[in-house]
Amino acid sequence: MIPGHQKGQNLRILVLAGGISHERDISLKSGRRVADALTDAGATVIIREPDENLFNHIAEDAPDVIWPTLHGASGEDGALRDILGLTSVPFVGAAADGARLAWDKSIAKIIAARTGLQTPASVTLPKDTFRELDAESVLAQVAKHMSFPVVVKPARSGSAQGVTIVEDATHLSRAMIDAYVYCDVAIIEKFVAGTELAVTVINQGGGLLALPAVEIEATGGRFGYDERVTAGEVNYFVPARLDQQILDRAGKIAVQIHEELCLRHISRVDLIVDENGVAWFLEVNVAPGLTETSLAPQAILATGATLSDVYLGIAEAARLGRG
């Protein structure tokens, strides 16, 4: 424990990390970073995998609060959060309903659009659609009505896994296949060129706060899975190198979608700002990565706060039922 960081000394926190999703590796790293920061804040932290002993562990560990840092389906599709809701232990982050809505990018886009936000035009296609309607004719229709490039991505997945930027119609079917290995529903979305931003929203009990937007500049032009987890592959700018007016707007969008989906203590909204300064909503994450190269910790540190203080504030808010 760092001297002077005693604030969390009466708090017992169970961090859940791992799971069997495609993002297990990132989850384990996130969990350990969160645990380190909370331990530095003086809290007693236990890290566990969610498995068949989950309820026994919750009973034995007697945590004041649970922090699920599970990425991918095992932590973000709402199922685990429903189960945690059955216990009497408060937990950090979105409740099950909000997580479900956010986890499916196609649903989140609909909600974003209904709340007046701009989101790139897209079509959402379950795998079976191609079988029923003939893949060639469906793809021909898509190519006819959408201008390339497009982004093909699984509707329910994270960390850019299964995502392809498709430059022309000839590569569309391969991209669909690569998306469907992650999820039975895929989105074909108009590609918006511009500045990629990530805005983290937190609530430490005092209301929603949009943290400084992180600008992502992938040195190789792509912000895929490998780039996300490899130091040196991406340049991040906090604050982003955009007009303050645009950044304020990005912050408002992030808070708006966070509020609309009732995501409670923490979320991260991914946006693209085009050449006209329009911010386009892409997706929202209810369990943002919290590793050493993740976006949310960068935003926290840019405020001048420590991860320990902010994570402790979030955990306290969850414990007290605030946010």
Partner 1 sequence: MSNETPRGNNFDHWLDSYAARANTLSVSEVRALFAVVSRPEVVSLAGGMPYVAALPRELLEDSFDTMMTERGNFALQYGGGQGDLRLRDQIREIMELEGIHASVEDIVITTGSQQGLDLLGGLFLDAGDVVLAESPSYVGALGIFRHYEAHVEHLVTDENGLDPDDLEIQIKALKAEGRRIKFLYLVPNFGNPSGVTLSEERRHRIVEICRREHILILEDNPYGLLYFGEKPPVAMRSYEEDCVIYLGSFSKILAPGLRVGYVLAPPAIRDKLVLANESALLSPSTFTQMLISEYLAKSDWQGQINTFRGVYRERRDAALNAMAEYLPQLHTTRPDGGFYLWITLPEGIDSKAMLPLAVTELVAYTPGTAFYANGGGHQNLRVSFCYPTPENINLGIKRLATVIKRQTDLLETFGNH
The token duo for 205 is 């009990």
What is the rounded distance in angstroms from the CA atom of residue 297 to the CA atom of residue 29? 13
User: Judged by CB under 8 A, which stretch of 54-62, 84-92, 176-184, 272-280 contacts partner 1?
Assistant: 176-184
Element housing 191 (H / E):
none
Query: Minimum distance from CB of 81 to partner 1 (Å)?
Result: 20
What are φ and ψ of residue 266, in 5° steps? -155, 140
275 within 8 A of 106, measured Cβ to Cβ: no
CB of 135 to partner 1, least distance (A): 5
How many Cβ atoms from other residues are within 10 Å of residue 54's Cβ? 18
| β partners of residue 67 | 15
Of positions 106, 200, 293, 308, contacts partner 1 by CB under 8 A: 293
- Going by C-alpha positions, the residue among 1, 25, 2, 28 that lies closest to residue 15 is 28
Site membership for partner 1, residue 20 (CB under 8 A): yes
Q: Which tokens go with 319?
A: 């414990």
Taking the least distance from each CB to partner 1, the nearer of 175 and 208 is: 175
Find the shortest distance in angstroms from Cβ 156 to partner 1: 11
Q: Under the criterion CB under 8 A, does residue 33 sit at the interface with partner 1?
A: no
- Does residue number 135 form part of the binding site for partner 1 (CB under 8 A)? yes
Q: Among 4, 116, 221, 232, which residue interacts with partner 1 (rule: CB under 8 A)?
A: 232
3-state secondary structure of 56: helix
Would you count residue 173 as binding partner 1 (CB under 8 A)? yes
- Is 83 near partner 1 (CB under 8 A)? no
User: Among 9, 10, 53, 235, which residue interacts with partner 1 (rule: CB under 8 A)?
Assistant: 235
Separation of CA 272 from chain center: 15
Report DSSP state, residue 117.
-
Q: Tell me the closest approach of the beta carbon of residue 100 to partner 1, in angstroms.
A: 19
Q: Is 130 in the site for partner 1 (CB under 8 A)?
A: yes
| Cβ proximity to partner 1, 52 vs 275, nearer residue | 52
Examine residue 233 and tell whether it contacts partner 1 (CB under 8 A). yes
18 binds partner 1 (CB under 8 A): yes
Residue 164 near partner 1 by CB under 8 A: no
Phi, psi torsion values for 258, nearest 5 degrees? -60, -45
Tokens 């039975």 locate to: 184
CB nearer partner 1, residue 131 or residue 277:
131
Q: H helices of 41-171, where?
A: 54-61, 73-76, 79-86, 96-103, 105-114, 127-133, 135-145
Site stretch for partner 1 (CB under 8 A), options 38-46, 84-92, 185-193, 233-241:
233-241
- CA separation for the pair 284, 307 (Å, rounded): 21
Torsional sign, CA 306, 303, 222, 110: positive
Nearer to partner 1, 83 or 181 (CB): 181
User: CA 188, CA 174: separation in Å to the nearest integer?
Assistant: 13
Q: Hey, what are 296's tokens?
A: 């949310």
Whichever of 50 and 98 has its CB closer to partner 1, that residue is 50
Is residue 28 close enough to count as binding partner 1 by CB under 8 A?
yes
Count of residues interacting with partner 1 (CB under 8 A) = 44
Binding site for partner 1 (CB under 8 A): 18, 20-26, 28, 49, 51, 127, 130-131, 135-136, 161-162, 173-174, 176-178, 180-182, 215, 217, 219, 225-226, 229-238, 292-293, 298
